Chain A
Amino acid sequence: MSGTYPNQGPQDIGGVEAGPVDTLDHGMKFWERQANSLRSVLQRNKIMRTDELRRAAEDLGPRYSQLAYFEITTSALRTVLLEKGLITEDELKAKMDEVRARFNVPDEMESPLKKGAAR
């Protein structure tokens, strides 16, 4: 049943032989729910359209099949935001460093949120 044709994109997998379907719904991680919501808000705010995000996802080429669903959509969003000039590479890199550092706060360290939640 499967076949290929010139310029077939990595997303074009209908009709390809594949294994059994895992029929369990594994749900979404918190960041994935948040990322989906961000995507939806950007579309509602008329910042971007579905087809722009899909084109950016399909342009991933061979990486497409190696990434998980929300890794694909996150990569696509990055591409479109950079293309539109809404963010720059440098800004994103700096902000990612900031977020990464925030995840590494040791337990002993004081933070207002932790204090607020102390019983």
Chain B
Amino acid sequence: MSEYKYDYYADKKLKERDGHHHDHGDHTHDHDHDDHAPVTEHDDGPPSEYEIMSRAMQELLEEKGVVTAEQVRRRMEVFEEDFPYRGSKLVARAWTDPAFKQRLLDDGKAACAEMGIDLEADRLIAVENTPEVHNVVVCTLCSCYPRALLGMPPTWYKSRNYRSRVVFEPRAVLKEFGTELPDSVTVRVHDSNADMRYVVIPMRPQGTEGWSDEQLEDILTRDTLVGVTVPRVATS
């Protein structure tokens, strides 16, 4: 180790380098959703000019009292440890409570508020998959995404290829995610924007009767709520 990056988060990094286990305070990770973004604590290689610019802007804004380091740290925690698990809870409830599902379909933002979820966007539109219709969500212009329900969008959601193609050849794109739909199923693509976000309510698979909320949440993965995959029940 000839060079060590001395920075803001040096303390954490040093602990890792020295083999201390890094934990998140009193938070325990009892989630095992496998399609949430992998998280790395530090970056390899020298920082890019953009990283330096970003850090510099944050420090200037802290010095000027526009933001505090604590606000940024807290927000990062919420983004990583709370947001990614809300969507599956919301939709699991819609699966088990028909009246709630109807309220979610009628007014997504109000249904979220019922569960104590404050969305960042003005509107949430829940779209329900049926045997006749499959829904998939994109933001062709950028990366609008129900972050308060699903966390940060995965790399592919922000990618040029997904944004470009899913609107005109959704079946081909879904196939790349391993999702093949019969020709009889209509595929609807929903293009999000800054004020309006979408979440898919997938069809509840057979064989999940009597399942607990936690079991249902486990199969309601991020990708199923964006609509690129459908929930599956492992056949043993």
Q: Do A92 and B67 touch across chains, with their CB atoms under 8 A apart?
A: no
Chain A residues near B18 (CB-CB < 8 A): 117, 119
Number of chain B interface residues as a range: 35 or more
Chain A residues near B120 (CB-CB < 8 A): 40, 43
State the total of A-B contacts with C-beta under 8 angstroms.
211
Q: Find the A residue at minimum CB distance from B48.
A: A71
CB proximity to A under 8 Å, residues B22-46: 35-43, 46
Q: Contact flags (1/0) for A88-119 with B, using CB distance below 8 Å?
A: 00011001101110111111000101101101
Query: Which among B7-15, B101-109, B206-214 touches the partner chain?
Result: B7-15
| Interchain CA distance A24-B228 in the complex, whole Å | 12
Q: Which one of B46, B57, B66, B71 has the highest number of Cβ atoms from chain A below 10 Å of its Cβ? A: B57
Q: Contact flags (1/0) for A18-42 with B, using CB distance below 8 Å?
A: 1111111111111101111110111
Q: A37-B76, A38-B54, A57-B142 are in contact. Are A28 and B15 (CB under 8 A)?
A: no
Chain A residues near B4 (CB-CB < 8 A): 105, 107, 114
Q: Do A34 and B53 touch across chains, with their CB atoms under 8 A apart?
A: no
Q: Do A22 and B161 touch across chains, with their CB atoms under 8 A apart?
A: yes
The interface size of chain A toward B, counting residues with CB under 8 Å, comes to 69
Given contacts A27-B40, A117-B15, 11 further A-B contacts (CB under 8 A): A14-B138, A21-B159, A21-B161, A21-B176, A23-B228, A25-B36, A25-B155, A27-B37, A74-B53, A81-B57, A92-B60
7 cross-chain pairs, A with B, having the tightest CB-CB distances, nearest first: A14-B140, A25-B154, A117-B14, A95-B56, A37-B76, A27-B38, A18-B164
- Chain A residues close to B by CB (< 8 Å): 1, 11-31, 33-38, 40-45, 47, 50-51, 54, 57, 65, 69-71, 74-75, 77-78, 81, 86-87, 91-92, 95-96, 98-100, 102-107, 111, 113-114, 116-117, 119
- Chain B residues close to A by CB (< 8 Å): 1-7, 9-11, 14-15, 18, 35-43, 46-61, 64, 66-67, 71-73, 75-76, 79-80, 120, 138, 140-143, 152, 154-156, 158-169, 173, 176-177, 191, 194, 228
